[in-house]
Amino acid sequence: MELVTPEIGLVFWTTVSFLILLAILGKFAWKPIMTAIDERERTIEEALFKAEAAKEEMARLTSENEALLKQARAERDVILAEARKVKEQIVGDAKDAAQKEGARMIESARLEINNMKAIALADVKNQVATLSLDIAEKVLRKQFEDQGKQDQLVADLLKEVKLS
């Protein structure tokens, strides 16, 4: 039963040794332990502050990246729109130039055809005139072979001249 009801001497010496241990620990160990705990608390707070700052920086960078991405998309859309306009303008200019060139070529061909036609008509007229003269010459030679016919023709022509 000694263990259940301790003697007064045991309680006294246990209390004295506890107080001595507490005084020694307070003098030599308590300050370093508290300093280490304070230092650890400070480093944890700094780490939390840095983590919060990093989180804010990441949020800022994310928003900047979003803004840059939106700006890049807008610039891309503007560039694509300008490229489409330039393409349409080039295609339109090419069509206009092709139409003008085609019209010029058609007009040139029409003029050439008309020139060739005029040359051919002049050539045909010359040939017809030459043939007509040849035929008239042959008819007149045949008719003027006889001197009497020539005299008769001259007399008839003179009568007509006098009447007119």
Give the mean pLDDT per block of 10 residues along the chain (164 residues): 73 93 87 89 96 94 94 95 95 93 93 94 89 81 73 78 60
Q: Who contacts 70 (Cβ-Cβ below 8 Å, separation ≥6)?
A: none
Q: What pLDDT is recorded for position 150?
A: 74
Q: Who contacts 144 (Cβ-Cβ below 8 Å, separation ≥6)?
A: 150, 153
Tell which residue, 114, 117, 115, 137, has the closest CA to residue 125. Answer: 117
Residue entry with tokens 């008769």: 152
Q: What pLDDT is recorded for position 98?
A: 92
Alpha helix segments (H runs only) across 7-29: 8-24
Q: What pLDDT is recorded for position 3?
A: 59
